[in-house]
Homo-oligomer: A and B are copies of this chain.
Amino acid sequence: MEHRALLLLLLAFLTPGAPIPVPPALKALSNLHLSTRLTSRPAIDIKYSIHYIQQKVDHFGFNTDKTFKQRYLIADKHWKKDGGSILFYTGNEGDITWFCNNTGFMWDMAEELKAMLVFAEHRYYGESLPFGANSFKDSTHLNFLTSEQALADFAKLIKHLKRTVPGAKNQPVIALGGSYGGMLAAWFRMKYPHMVVGALASSAPIWQFEDLVPCGVFMEIVTADFRKSGPNCSESIRRSWDAIRRLTSTGPGLHWLSEALRLCSPLTNSQDVEHLKDWITETWVNLAMVDYPYESNFLQPLPAWPIKVVCQYLKNPNVSDPQLLENIFQALNVYYNYSGQVKCLNMSETATRSLGSLGWSYQACTEMVMPFCTNGIDDMFEPHSWNLKEFSDDCFKQWGVRPRPSWITTMYGGKNISSHTNIIFSNGDLDPWSGGGVTENVTDTLVAITIPEGAHHLDLRANNAFDPTSVLLARSLEVRYMKQWIKNFYASLRKKH
């Protein structure tokens, strides 16, 4: 049990449909980066042009001169050649049009910053496939899917824009991104400070590596979200695992639970039960990430503060196992059936239609090795420890590569980043990823902004009437920093001339 549970966590980022059986537990962790900013934006007209730049497949080796087309989007409605700026979204693991359409904050501040918006697609995602349909074929083709190559793409693109777009040459560029994209924004400023005057790294867990933070912090925050959202809520969930175990120890129990949870496919064996627990776990994790203060459309349409709604069904942990699971069903139903149209709950549909899950699962198996664990005491989940050896073996089976868990800290500095400047790290306290984020100022110019009522990169979402004051404050502070960077840029430009 311990052993198997372990595996679930270890494979958190692995993709379904892969050669080895991969339970979907915490698959959400791999998808969180995506799909969390869906918002209809009637106020601002989202219009962009689509462009492509020829990029070297390998920036760091000369044996191949092969190139591929990287896609990027430009929106320049509010751009001013005189005193303007360039906001550069460092695309993460997904289709860039999706990020473009769902990073409302950039569209909201474009006019104020006289900014050109650029959204750069990350290689191996969306249309930017180095080897087309063969890009994910094997480890040879995947060899160029790294954060370093992605950053180099961004650098080349910015250079290209400055050379080819009249008026762009002497303008300050600011990197922005959320989640993995936020990590890239921060790292881009660290590694290519000559390219960008600063970076806004929203919900960027740059310390979710090695032992920089405790591996349990992520699930502890998920748990805290539920604990805070209703009396006994997290306790009810904590007790549900044993209840499931007891209920499913017999054939009739399996049948009963399948009915009680309105599962589309009935549970038939213990493997299904593990799958069930993974699926439920993933649901709670997803909810923690998108616990937004207003109705939003994530995987399914969700009410405002969805965890509060969920917790209304989980007020009493001291009930019979069947009653507890009935309550769990009601809670799950909030997430999967807010519309009321769903006939049964489909355990295989939980995963977001993440555009880049395949690519991310490779990245998690190489550079992006994020240890997660639970102990069942400080969190409401079954205990799973972190086992690098198993993780590595599984990665090798799936991709033919082994993770290098200490590489990211060697490359990007771990907690020793104080010599860098002009990076804003923003985090929502509700977001489990804040546990691996920078939530305290490192220096005067490496600043942390925390949003007590914020879930995953809430600040990057478009303005909303129901935004809590804390996120409005965060955004206004972020704009103030960016304006200062822009001002400093122009001041030093004038000094040069």
Contacts and interface: CB of A to CB of B under 8 A. Distances in A.
Interface of A: 56, 58-63, 65, 139-140, 142-144, 146, 148-149, 152, 155-156, 159, 191-194, 366-367, 401-402, 404, 406-407, 410-411, 413-414, 416-422, 492
Nearest to A403: B62
A103 to B, nearest CB: 26
A298 to B, nearest CB: 32
A328 to B, nearest CB: 40
A196 B414 CA distance: 14
Given A191-B191, A194-B417, A421-B419, A410 B159 contact: yes
Given A62-B139, A63-B142, A152-B410, 13 more contacts: A58-B61, A59-B407, A60-B148, A60-B149, A61-B146, A62-B142, A62-B366, A62-B402, A63-B140, A63-B143, A65-B402, A159-B410, A194-B413
Contacts of A60: 60-61, 146, 148-149
A367 B191 CA distance: 18
A140 to B, nearest CB: 6
A60 to B, nearest CB: 5
Contacts of A402: 62, 65
A156 B407 CA distance: 9
Contact of A416 (B63, B143, B194): B194
B139 A194 contact: no
A156 B156 CA distance: 27
A389 to B, nearest CB: 15
B401 A63 contact: yes
A415 B143 CA distance: 32
18 contacts: A58-B61, A59-B407, A60-B60, A61-B61, A62-B143, A62-B402, A62-B404, A63-B142, A63-B143, A65-B401, A65-B402, A152-B411, A156-B410, A159-B406, A159-B410, A192-B413, A193-B419, A194-B416
A158 to B, nearest CB: 9
Contacts of A148: 60
A146 B140 CA distance: 20
A411 to B, nearest CB: 7
Nearest to A414: B194
Contacts of A420: 193
State the main secondary structure of chain A at its contact with B.
Answer: loop
4 tightest A-B CB contacts, nearest first: A194-B413, A194-B416, A63-B143, A193-B419
A178 B140 CA distance: 37
- Among A62, A140, A156, A411, the most chain B Cβ lie within 10 Å of the Cβ of A62
Nearest to A159: B410
Given A194-B416, A414-B194, A63 B407 contact: no
Nearest to A395: B62
Nearest to A362: B62
A144 B402 CA distance: 19
A369 to B, nearest CB: 11
A367 B59 CA distance: 11
A207 B258 CA distance: 69
Nearest to A138: B63
B155 A410 contact: yes
A442 B64 CA distance: 36
Contacts of A191: 191
A156 to B, nearest CB: 6
Contacts of A155: 410-411
Given A159-B410, A404-B62, A194 B146 contact: no
Nearest to A141: B63
Contact of A419 (B149, B194, B367): B194
A61 B362 CA distance: 12
Contacts of A140: 63
A271 B472 CA distance: 75
Contacts of A62: 139, 142-143, 146, 366-367, 401-402, 404
A286 to B, nearest CB: 29
- Among A60, A146, A156, A411, the most chain B Cβ lie within 10 Å of the Cβ of A60
A475 B404 CA distance: 41
A448 B63 CA distance: 37
A350 to B, nearest CB: 29
A496 to B, nearest CB: 10
A58 B143 CA distance: 10
A406 B156 CA distance: 10
A60 B367 CA distance: 10
Contacts of A411: 152, 155
B139 A63 contact: yes
A457 to B, nearest CB: 26
A239 B86 CA distance: 54
